[in-house]
Amino acid sequence: MSYLIHQPYIINNKQVSKASILIEGDIIKDIISGEVPEGLLNNVRVIDANGLYVFPGIIDDQVHFREPGLTHKGDIESESRAAIAGGITSYMEMPNTKPQTTSMAEINAKLKRADEVSFANYGFYLGATNDNHREICDADISCICGIKIFLGSSTGNMLVDNEETLDYIFSNSRVPVAVHSEDESIIKAEMEKAIAIYGENIPPSLHAKIRSNEACYVSTKKAISRAKRFGTKLHVLHLSTAEEAEMFDKSGPDKHITSEVCVHHLWFSEKDYNALGNKIKWNPSIKSEYDREILRKALNEGRIDIIATDHAPHTWDEKNNPYTSCPSGGPLVQHSLPAMLDLYHYGVVSLETIAEKMCHSPARIFNIKKRGFIEKGFFADLAIADLKKPSIVAKETLLYKCCWSPFEGHRFRSTVEYTFINGEPVYSFGKFSGRRNVRSLEYNRA
């Protein structure tokens, strides 16, 4: 079917302009400035978007959809539905599932499952361990978005702390190496101190002290140094500290060391632990207001390249455990774009920067084909928002399988009205079409 998105504001390539978007099949056929010919209006399905804002479909480069093995928390079907309600049209999913995604066999199993049930386009990371470095560096790079290394603790044996293994991956990987960067020895020492005082009932407000600025800074400094030594295309996930933010260069055409910040590190600060407690217990931890301010500044300066969610659902019962047995992470994909649009309304970030960091940069950094931009010949992945229509986050509106959100009770100023995936309006005005028109992400690889 052909669609015409009529006269919205289009946010693309550092500009906001008023034009119409013609979609034929799964492709953007044309972008029409000015009046649309009457004959064309009579031969397409017209979507009146006057006053609405169109972004390229959001590409989230870091999610945990919990399938296989942890599907009581979430699964590919449930969490991808929540994602498209938030304007996310493509996601890249992490390997710490059960079994872990540490071989091409597990990658192929995930690709097959996503093809069967996902509501958004999908890509998967291949996970590193201390023992699989040769296999993952020889993997079929057409099937993976990148290699994920946990430099801090994770599920099972996915902490990679063998220096020879790290050297091998950094020197041989043919795809971006994405790292969770925290120093495990520093965290362990701080945890032992806290347990000695509080036992298992450590106050959540101490999370930022246990998983400290130093733990992040020391690990990220080592990762950057190693990447410079080997010429690695390094992507440091979820920056949380001022010290880290200032370690990265501003954007440039030859930038091979890049970084990401998550919505929760731009939104919350350690002052919010008193009200929200374990709801905002993430790794890396949410830190001070000063750290948040510097992260926002670095985002606008181009030192930080991508905004993502690190969507990582756990059940409410799990999050209500004492600190030492409460898992870190929380759900975010349904609300990432509305949250960033609130930061636009607060004067923190521009619409153009939101498009750059949530759409353009993920496509560039991971070499994703024909996505991330509103351009002729690109796939028609679009997120259309009403910036003047508020929406309140209530439990009955949540689409996450875990059925909770740290944003519950918040009134967002904007609402996602339509999400197009590969030319199909799969979500509109709070309702799903029931149709799936998704694909595995394809990459421009030498």
Same domain, 156 and 304: yes
State mean pLDDT over 101-129: 98
CB 119 within 8 A of CB 436: yes
In the predicted model, what is the mean pLDDT of residues 74-94? 98
Gyration radius from the chain CA atoms: 21
321-345 in b/e burial notation, b at 16+ Cβ within 10 A? eebeebbbbbbbbbbbbbbbbbbbe
Average pLDDT of 105-133? 97
Average pLDDT on 51-65 reads 98
Two structure tokens written together for 189: 């020492």
The CATH number of the domain where 420 resides is what?
2.30.40.10
Quick one: 246 and 316 in the same domain?
Answer: yes
| Mean pLDDT in residue range 363-388 | 98
CATH of the domain at 81: 3.20.20.140
Supply φ then ψ for residue 421, to 5 degrees: -125, 120
Whether the per-residue pLDDT at 156 is higher than 60: the answer is no
135 belongs to a structural domain: yes
In a shared domain, residues 11 and 142:
no
Q: Show the 3-state SS of 56-87.
A: ECEEEEEECCCCCCCCCCCCHHHHHHHHHHCC
Q: Is the pTM of this model over 0.85?
A: yes
Q: Residue 427: exposed, middle, or buried by beta-carbon count in 10 A (0-12, 13-18, 19+)?
A: buried
Least confident of 142-151, 157-166, 416-425: 157-166
Note the pLDDT of residue 153: 59
CA distance 351 to 356: 9
Higher pLDDT pick, 40 / 234: 234
- Are both 329 and 292 inside the same structural domain? yes
- Token pair 């493509």 in the structure block, residue: 90
**β-pairing, 411-412 with 306-308?**
unpaired
The whole-number pLDDT of residue 41 equals 85
Closest CA to 165 of 111, 241, 96, 226: 226
Q: How many of the other CB atoms lie within 10 Å of CB of 184?
A: 15
Token readout for 411 is: 């009134």
pLDDT tens for each residue of 246-289: 999 887 667 899 999 999 999 999 999 999 999 999 999 999 99
Number of domains in the chain: 2
- Cα angle 78-82-87, degrees, rounded to a multiple of 5: 145
Torsion angle of alpha carbons 168, 173, 179, 181, nearest 10°?
30
User: Is the model's pLDDT at 152 over the cut of 70?
Assistant: no
**Is residue 438 in some structural domain?**
no
185 band by pLDDT with thresholds 50, 70 and 90: very high
Is residue 419's pLDDT more than 90? Answer: yes
- pLDDT tens for each residue of 424-445: 999 999 999 988 999 999 999 8
Whether 112 shows a pLDDT value over 90: the answer reads yes
What is the model's pLDDT at position 434?
86
Main-chain dihedrals φ then ψ at residue 20, nearest 5 degrees? -115, 150
Same domain membership, residue 256 and residue 139: yes
- DSSP string across 152-167: S--STT-B---HHHHH
pLDDT at position 327 over 60: yes
> What mean pLDDT is predicted for residues 385-410?
98
Domain match, 211 and 278 both: yes
pLDDT tens digits along 291-319:
999 999 999 999 999 999 999 999 999 99
Domain of 176 in residue numbering reads as 59-365
Residues 350 and 301 both lie in one domain: yes
Residue 48 lies in a domain: yes
Shared domain for 36 and 64, answered yes or no, is no
Q: Are residues 17 and 130 in the same domain?
A: no
* DSSP class per residue in 84-131: HHTTEEEEEE-S-SSS-S-SHHHHHHHHHHHHHH-SSEEEEEEEP-SS
Residues 384 and 328 in one domain: no
Average model confidence (pLDDT) across the chain? 96
Please tell me whether residues 120 and 136 are part of one structural domain: yes
The amino acid that residue 201 corresponds to is N
User: Is there a contact between 405 and 268 (Cβ–Cβ < 8 Å)?
Assistant: no
pLDDT of the residue at 158: 84
| Same domain assignment for residues 87 and 133 | yes
Candidate from 20-34, 47-61, 245-259, 285-299 with smallest mean pLDDT = 245-259
> How much is the pLDDT for 250?
87
In this prediction, residues 407-412 reach a mean pLDDT of 98
Predicted pLDDT at 2: 95
For residue 251, the model assigns a pLDDT of: 72
Instruction: Report the range of poorest mean pLDDT among 34-48, 55-69, 158-172, 340-354.
Output: 34-48
User: d(Cα 11, Cα 118) in Å, to the nearest integer?
Assistant: 27
Query: What percent of the chain has a predicted confidence (pLDDT) above 70?
Result: 98
